[in-house]
Amino acid sequence: MTITRRNTLRALTSGVAMTLLLGANLAYAADETVKIGYAVAKTGPNATGAGITTIPNYELWVKDVNAAGGLTMPDGSQRKIEVIEYDDRSSNEDLVRAIERLATKDEVDLILPPWGTGSNLAIAPLMDRFGYPQLGVTAVTDKAPDFAARWKRSYWMLGGGHDYAVGLADVLKAAVADGKINNKIAMVSVADGFGIDLVKGARLAFEEAGLEIAYDKTYPLGTSDFAALMAEARDTGADSFVAFSYPPDSFGMTKTAQSMGYNPKVFYVGVGGAFPIYGKIADGKQEGVMSIGGVDAASPAIKDYFARHTDSAGAPPDSWASAITYASLEMLAQSIERVGLDHAKLAEELSNGTFSTIIGDVKLEDNQLRDLWWVGQWQNGTFVAVNPSDKDGAVAPVIPKPDW
């Protein structure tokens, strides 16, 4: 290159530009953000669950943290959260690719998990390979101990089907012993992963509890007419009606029971029973309905969380996995404050640390949250926790349920 005026000028300007850029970079570094990515279902069959339990809590947490100045680092400095989100279209293939994108292209500091058991399992090997801790909340699986051992940085925080079935058996057994209900149970379940897991656990647990399963039918996913099923269940003379169902089914059965005047002494539905919308579905007559999950409704932290969630998302959270999702994020923030963003240290802290969250003090056992509510019940407009009955905040169940 010959030295001409133009070339000199060009070199000079690019030099100046470089300096400016460098300066901008340095200024930026002082105010660096923590990049957090997630891929959840915004469209497709998983979008309902993700839209109720996962996304509103991620958004609320990010808002809360940033409003407080950001995530606190071990040195006391604060860094704001920058979110990168993708839609996995409820497809595992797209989900896997989105995680690869977050890890290798966006190079995010942390990845939050998707909604659903299948989705969490699909990304577990990848998260493990890239070294990210995976706080799997919305995954119900009896194999959690195996998975936690297989992927050392995975955490499973919602128990397994067997746990929920045993919890319900406990409640019913106590009611039988008190002479409140007969020992017959009519049970229906959805023919899908979740329903199968629970009903398998329930058959065993009910038998061990000395309860008689008078009716045990499975219905296909997407069923919308439950009249025949419930008429048969009523005819068995069982005092307890138990459905391991998905939200549309839980809602449909509630409507059907009301319109046919079916008033079992225990009315239990699966997912959806703890949704805030359930009261409206039941026409305000949800009193006494039992379902999965529950919260310690008297706890001030939970009350405050419900209020903030309502403010932020326009609706209260569901009373099962929502609070646990938020608590898992609090655990993450507290771990970062103690050990920073290094993945290995973070994982160790999450496994061994004790955290103060909206659901109380949390300590994981073998990477699993075991201190959970198994059965809840609508009482006076709130979905309260009734089992385990010896856990702090448990309320005595109302049996028999008042008529619709």
In the complex with other proteins, which residue's Cβ is closer, 198 or 295? 198
Q: Are 90 and 44 in contact, with CB atoms under 8 Å apart?
A: yes
* Residues whose CB is less than 8 angstroms from the CB of residue 114 and which lie 6 or more positions away in sequence, other chains included: 38, 39, 40, 41, 46, 50, 54, 88, 95, 120, 123
The reply on whether position 104 binds other proteins by CB under 8 A is yes
In the complex with other proteins, which residue's Cβ is closer, 102 or 290? 102
Contacting residue, 62, 73, 96, 341, with other proteins by CB under 8 A? 96
Stretch of 5-13, 21-29, 81-89, 276-284 lying at the interface with other proteins (CB under 8 A): 81-89
In angstroms, give the least distance from the CB of 166 to other proteins. Answer: 18
Contacting residue, 31, 93, 304, 365, with other proteins by CB under 8 A? 93
Residue 34: which of 341, 349, 334 has the closest Cα? 341
CB atoms within 10 A of CB 118: 15
* Residues whose CB is less than 8 angstroms from the CB of residue 29 and which lie 6 or more positions away in sequence, other chains included: none
Handedness of CA 343, 347, 353, 355 (dihedral sign): positive
Of 4-33, which residues contact other proteins (CB under 8 A)?
none
The reply on whether position 277 binds other proteins by CB under 8 A is no
Stretch of 114-122, 204-212, 262-270, 343-351 lying at the interface with other proteins (CB under 8 A): 114-122
Contacting residue, 11, 12, 17, 221, with other proteins by CB under 8 A? 221
Of 35-74, which residues contact other proteins (CB under 8 A)?
42-43, 45
Q: In which region does residue 5 sit, left (phi positive, over 0), alpha (psi from -120 to 50) or beta (all else)?
A: alpha
How many residues sit in the footprint of other proteins (CB under 8 A)? 34
Stretch of 196-204, 252-260, 272-280, 286-294 lying at the interface with other proteins (CB under 8 A): 196-204
Residue identified by tokens 């409206």 is: 280
CB atoms within 10 A of CB 403: 11
Helix, strand, or coil here: 331?
helix
Cα–Cα distances (Å) from 239 to 36, 179, 228, 310, in that order, read: 49, 11, 18, 36
In the complex with other proteins, which residue's Cβ is closer, 196 or 260? 196
In angstroms, give the least distance from the CB of 385 to other proteins. Answer: 28
The reply on whether position 121 binds other proteins by CB under 8 A is yes
The reply on whether position 192 binds other proteins by CB under 8 A is yes
Q: Are 79 and 85 in contact, with CB atoms under 8 Å apart?
A: no
The reply on whether position 100 binds other proteins by CB under 8 A is yes
Report how far residue 273's alpha carbon sits from residue 294's, in angstroms, rounded to the nearest whole number: 10
What tokens appear for 391 in the block? 């856990």
In the complex with other proteins, which residue's Cβ is closer, 246 or 383? 246
The reply on whether position 118 binds other proteins by CB under 8 A is yes
DSSP state of 371: -
Stretch of 15-23, 214-222, 347-355, 394-402 lying at the interface with other proteins (CB under 8 A): 214-222
Stretch of 58-66, 83-91, 299-307, 338-346 lying at the interface with other proteins (CB under 8 A): 83-91
List contacts with other proteins (CB under 8 A): 42-43, 45, 85-87, 89-94, 96-97, 100-101, 103-105, 117-118, 121-122, 124-125, 191-193, 196-197, 200, 218, 220-221
